[in-house]
Amino acid sequence: MPFERRLTLDTSAAEYVIDVANVVREPALGGERAADLNRLAGVLDALAGFARDPSVQVYAITDRSLLTDGRLTPAERQDLNRWYADGRLEVLPRADDRILELADALGLRVVSADNFLDFHRAYPWIPGNRDRFLRPVLLPDGRIGVRPRIMPVPEEWQVSRKEEEGLLLQAGVVRRWEHSAAHRAALGREWRCPEPGCPLFGSADRPGTALPRRRKEQVLCPTHGVPLADAGPRRPRAQVKVVMDGTVRGRFMVTEGEPVTVGRAPAGGGVALGAWIDDTAVDSVSRSHVVLSYDGRTLSVLDERSANGTRVRRRLPGNDTVEPLPHGVVRALRRGESVVLHERLELLPSGRQFVFEEDPTDGTVGPQDGGAHAEPTMMRLPLHDID
């Protein structure tokens, strides 16, 4: 299915977490069957339109029962099992607590019609929340859309009843939630599962990019519940979006210690923008326009010799400023800044990344300060910035 390219378990790339079973089993989203995988396709298309990002990346989680649901066709069940084996879908006995764990740790927006009443005490940011949840809806024209929703503020008895139901479903499994900082520390390491063929943390040639579970001092495999082996530090990555005429056309990662050349067709590798932009913009972009680098905290840009120059756009409430980036100057991108290669084309660091924390007064390092090899100023975008 073509929409599966939007499914990922890469914690650096995902921007939404979706409750797959909740969507697939929702008759109100159209279709004549009680369970229909086409509903997931419709929601992913709706998210692409909502985010203005045709390649929007979604962390998909489902209850294990969906993989054997006889109301799906054999082909649909085969697709679900293939996504699971390929590391595109996380499968658990019950998905709800894992969905909220991801939302809490990574700042992802949740796509689900569930009110999550049995988790309101564990995650006190849920009741009344206005910006972290999206509800799939059936539009008048028969297509599926997504809409921001305001989470309910339930009565105490409602929360207690849902908690009791959840405990029965868990059959005695104790759930413990920790502050998201513990999860972020776990994301800085490579992990391997001792279970053969684990789709999340199973092979050295496919590093696990999912979020491990943490219980007390242990780091566990979400699928098998066993302790993961620490395989060493993971080099941090920053996600960058290619935005053309206000719409995300593509994305790429910049890994710590591996500068990436971006342009029309960079020699010797890099990110070639030609496939994502039209001829008007292509003519204004040099073959090797800019070099992006990441030191684990700071994303920096360098224009060595582009023909038409590079600018940095800084977005402030009610006031956008654009300033040229001189050749040979390393610029550490501050909060709300993007790299403008053409009036219709820019490179936008993803605000979903926990990359930048402090906003320095100046992020420019000129040749007199060490040029391209100077250490850029450190800063971080807030975890919940919206692109």
387 within a domain of the structure (yes/no): no
Looking at the 3D structure of the chain, how many domains does it have? 3
- Full DSSP string of 279-322: HHHHTTS-TT-EEEEE-SS-EEEE-SS-SS-EEEEEEETTEEEE
Q: Does residue 143 share a domain with residue 26?
A: yes
Q: Which amino acid is at 79?
A: D
The tokens of 341 are what?
């290669």
Q: State the pLDDT at residue 160.
A: 47
43 within a domain of the structure (yes/no): yes
Q: Does residue 333 share a domain with residue 367?
A: yes
Q: Does residue 316 share a domain with residue 303?
A: yes
Give the CATH number for residue 145. Answer: 3.40.50.11980
- Single out the residue in 160, 177, 194 at which a domain terminates: 177
Q: State the pLDDT at residue 154.
A: 58
91 within a domain of the structure (yes/no): yes
Structural domain harbouring 279: 237-373
247 within a domain of the structure (yes/no): yes
Contact 251, 242 (CB under 8 A): yes
Q: How far apart are CA 181 and CA 197, in angstroms?
A: 29
Length of the chain: 387
Q: What are the pLDDT tens digits along the chain (387 aa)? A: 578 889 999 888 888 999 999 999 999 999 899 999 999 999 999 999 998 888 899 999 999 999 999 999 999 999 999 999 888 999 998 888 899 988 888 889 999 998 888 787 788 888 888 889 999 999 999 999 999 999 887 555 444 444 444 443 443 333 333 445 666 677 778 889 998 888 888 866 665 678 888 777 788 888 888 999 988 888 888 889 888 888 888 888 899 999 999 998 888 788 988 777 777 777 788 989 999 999 888 899 999 889 889 999 987 767 778 999 999 999 999 877 899 998 888 998 875 433 333 333 344 444 433 333 333 332 222 223 322
